Amino acid sequence: MIRHIVCWKFLGHAGGTPRAENLRKAKAMLEDLPGKIPEILSLEVGIDSTQGPASFDLALNGTFASASALETYQRHPEHVNVVGFLRLVQSGKMVVDYEISGQ
């Protein structure tokens, strides 16, 4: 099993839309993916509530059966569409993918 964690920092405004609205839209788009991409075993998305200086604004925590399932997810047209939106509104991103031991 593979754990896929992504965190984003968002621009203050993007496309004339305030950060808070872009965060809500991105969260909804990401949460819609499990119904469209069967390779997603679990997916959790959250907006940061602390807004500390080291905080990222949005986090995704997903689980996939294998590295190939993660790759299939990443190439899926629905995921590619969400990535296109995120690229317009983000100022930074970090990704960690790791094997879940004992699973």
pLDDT above 80: residue 103: no
> pTM value?
0.94
The pLDDT tens digits for 9-30 are 999 999 899 999 999 999 999 9
The pLDDT tens digits for 84-98 are 999 999 999 999 999
pLDDT at 101: 83
Report the pLDDT averaged over residues 32-54.
96
pLDDT at 15: 86
- Among the listed residues 50, 47, 67, the one whose alpha carbon sits nearest the alpha carbon of residue 7: 47
pLDDT above 70: residue 53: yes
pLDDT at 37: 98
Instruction: Kindly indicate the confidence band of residue 102, based on its pLDDT and cuts at 50, 70 and 90.
Output: low
What is the dihedral sign for C-alpha 51, 52, 57, 61?
Answer: negative
Q: What's the rounded Cα separation, in Å, for the pair 88 and 41? A: 27
- 2-94 folds as Alpha-Beta Plaits (3.30.70)
